[in-house]
Structure 1
Amino acid sequence: MDVSSVLVLNQNYEPLNVCNVRRALVLVFRGKAEIIEAAAAAFHTASSSFVLPSVIRLVHMIRRPRPKIRLTRKEIFARDGWECVYCGRQTRDLTLDHVMPRHRGGPHTWENLVSACRACNHKKAGRTPQEARMAMAVQPHVPRVSVYHAFFPYLGAQEEWRKFVPGWEGQLAG
């Protein structure tokens, strides 16, 4: 088990973020947080021993903006299921394709970017899909992001976190 990461919960038990053990211990010792779940490991000093936290809860409520998913290659590929939108081939060797080419005024946005295999991207070239006579299996869109999106990668190893992160079940299977 990885004891270097600690789940930080808001006062109402909503997951806020993930921090390292040192930061979590500072929050606990200053009275700003309490330990909800302990890790199996302990921190030893010359005179005492402290249980390491796995999940902490803040004493005071923190307001934060809702997360937005960043427009990156990896997120475009994940949105499109790691497959080419033109031929449907699943591969890890994908390229980004602008539906309306950049040189013709196409923006660099979620609605204009899709995953394409190298062969389809080369075939389409600087044309629109209609001009190249290539149909897209799905239309590009802005993906909906879960408030808990940032926590899903940790849930495979951190079983004690799962009860605090709604919707994790479908993320581990997929």
Structure 2
Amino acid sequence: MPQVLVLNASYEPLGVVPIRRALILLLNDKAVSLEDSDALMRSATHAIPAPSVVRLKRFVRVPYRGAVPLTRRALFARDGGRCAYCGAVATSVDHVIPRSRGGAHAWDNVVAACRSCNHIKADRQVAELGWRLRHKPGPPSGLAWRIIGTGHRDPRWLPYLQPYGADDALARIEGRSSA
């Protein structure tokens, strides 16, 4: 099902919702559509262009937002879908310092890896193999990562995410996935 970017009244990205939820916000006059997708949503009497980006009419106070959650999808987005060791297409998650040796399951210890590198590395540390990481792992920052980490991306969202670090994030993703 298509996803819709929801912006606060201040144009700050809040999250991604299903198109059905976005339509309910529009029909209840709680949001306005800023960008429409190519699809039409039809009922017996109306045809409404399906939104791609909606902005809430009233400002919603957002409680403190912690760090970006560590999910497989967000990790692959951060690493551009490429192996942190050899640059091949990543298919698995690897702990730089293995958990069996006290490594944590945290952003600065987890990287995307191809099956081959993950299998060869096993429960050894990178230095033991003489390998180097292509980039230092760390937590992604910026509001755009909350959206990019969901794995849902629409080119129409980019102008609304650019002020919140989307250019850097997407450049890293696109740059690595074309390597």
Query: Is TM more than 0.5 here?
Result: yes
Q: CA RMSD in A?
A: 3.5
Supply the distance in 1 between the matched residues of 2:18 and 2:78 (Cα, whole angstroms). Answer: 29
Q: 1:10 to 1:98 in 2, by over 3 A?
A: same
Alignment partner, residue 63 of structure 1: 61
Q: 1:52 to 1:128 in 2, by over 3 A?
A: closer
* Counterparts of residues 45-84 of structure 1 (less than 5 Å): 45-64=43-62, 65-66=64-65, 68-73=67-72, 75-76=74-75, 79=78, 82-84=82-84
Alignment partner, residue 154 of structure 2: 155
The answer (yes or no) to whether the contact 1:94–1:116 under 8 Å persists in 2 is yes
Alignment partner, residue 107 of structure 1: 104
% identity of equivalent residues? 35
Taking structure 1 as the reference length, the TM-score comes to 0.67
Alignment partner, residue 164 of structure 1: 160
Q: Which amino acid aligns with 1:144?
A: P
Figure out how many residues of one structure are paired with residues of the other and give that number. Answer: 165
Taking structure 2 as the reference length, the TM-score comes to 0.65
How far the C-alpha of 1:12 sits from its partner, in A, is 0.5
Q: Specify which structure has the higher proportion of helix.
A: 2
How far the C-alpha of 1:120 sits from its partner, in A, is 5.7
How far the C-alpha of 1:11 sits from its partner, in A, is 0.5
Supply the distance in 2 between the matched residues of 1:105 and 1:140 (Cα, whole angstroms). Answer: 19
- More moved, 8-17 vs 29-38: 29-38
Q: 1:138 to 1:61 in 2, by over 3 A?
A: same
Q: Partner of 2:130: helix, strand, or coil?
A: coil
Larger Cα-atom Rg: 1
Q: 1:57 to 1:118 in 2, by over 3 A?
A: closer
Alignment partner, residue 13 of structure 1: 11
Supply the distance in 2 between the matched residues of 1:21 and 1:72 (Cα, whole angstroms). Answer: 23
How far the C-alpha of 1:139 sits from its partner, in A, is 7.2
Q: 1:112 to 1:31 in 2, by over 3 A?
A: closer
How far the C-alpha of 1:23 sits from its partner, in A, is 1.3
Supply the distance in 2 between the matched residues of 1:69 and 1:121 (Cα, whole angstroms). Answer: 24
How far the C-alpha of 1:148 sits from its partner, in A, is 0.9
Q: 1:96 to 1:11 in 2, by over 3 A?
A: same
